[in-house]
Structure 1
């Protein structure tokens, strides 16, 4: 199967990116490009302190309103160090062409080590995704039903068998 292609214009807002290398896919199977921390100096992220915004030094023009980009944590930083996204997932709409910022948060317990972000460190990843925009129709009752119906959290069980 061939991976989908999307032509996206990128504007380099921080000249250091030219030395660090443009955001890119790190392997042939990678789903997202890495984003750099375009900070002027080491930036300390204290445990449990409010999230802070880190500039990526890049702006994108997706040129296609049927897509968006998701800014996600790098799994190794989250698992090994506790650096996660302050907003869980960042959504970049196709019509936003300003600088992309990364919201970072040190999820470790108070009293744990400070996480230090270095200029040029890869701190997040950005994945381009297709978007479906729904046309909402107000109804009194649904014309079709499902087996699950309105069953909410935990309604399909936690066992290994059929849900």
Structure 2
């Protein structure tokens, strides 16, 4: 059984032709889903301008890794969400520093992946390394309605740990 997909058009602007990690010799760009059932598109580090085309992130430190791309999402009510790559986070301790990055549909600048080294060892990323994944998901814009009261629920204002361990 083939997976069902919903598709949207996403225009991609490659910001650095020279040294772009997505560039292929044939003149097309490899910014696709890794498999037919992959939810996200892999984002790669665009470090061509750095000495050695690499950067080391010390334990507990963050690094704003450029990707060399900007996007235009061609569907209303959809935004881009930058998630950690599960293997990179679980095996190497490199995660998206704010949990999930949000690419608003009207943003046209370069996608930057803020990486956090949660391991006890320095981690090096190389130019072209897959560093995060980009998913396109629907969102709801909130219509804020000021109110003096909110409805009652069984939980009420019970906060962290109120239901036990």
TM bin (shorter chain) = 0.7 to 0.9
Conservation of the 8 A alpha-carbon contact between 1:68 and 1:93? yes
Alignment match, 1:161: none
The CA deviation string for residues 13-35 of structure 1, in whole angstroms up to 9 with x for no partner, is: 23332228422211222211100
Tell me, what secondary structure is at the counterpart of 2:24?
helix
Equivalent residue number for residue 148 of structure 1: 155
- DSSP 3-state at the match of 1:138: coil
Once the two structures are TM-superposed, the CA of residue 156 in structure 1 deviates from its matched residue by: 3.3
Q: Please, what TM-score do these two structures have when normalized by structure 2? A: 0.84
Q: 2:97 touches 2:114 (CA, 8 Å); kept in 1?
A: yes
Q: 1:43-54 residue pairs with structure 2 within 5 A?
A: 43-49=55-61, 51-54=62-65
Alpha-carbon distance in 2 for matches of 1:39, 1:83: 17
| Per-residue CA distance 1:29-59 (angstroms, 9 max, x = gap) | 221110011102121112223x111111111
Helix, strand or coil for the counterpart of 2:111?
strand
**Alpha-carbon distance in 1 for matches of 2:110, 2:33:** 19
Alignment pair present for 1:124 and 2:127: no
* Aligned pairs for 1:1-163 within 5 A: 2-15=4-17, 16=20, 17-19=22-24, 21-40=29-48, 41-49=53-61, 51-109=62-120, 112=121, 114-142=122-150, 144-158=151-165
**Structure 1 portions without partners, runs of 5+:** 159-163
- Structure 1 contact 46–106 (Cα < 8 Å) conserved: yes
Aligned to 2:79, the other structure's residue is in SS state: strand
Query: What is the root-mean-square deviation of aligned Cα atoms in Å?
Result: 1.8
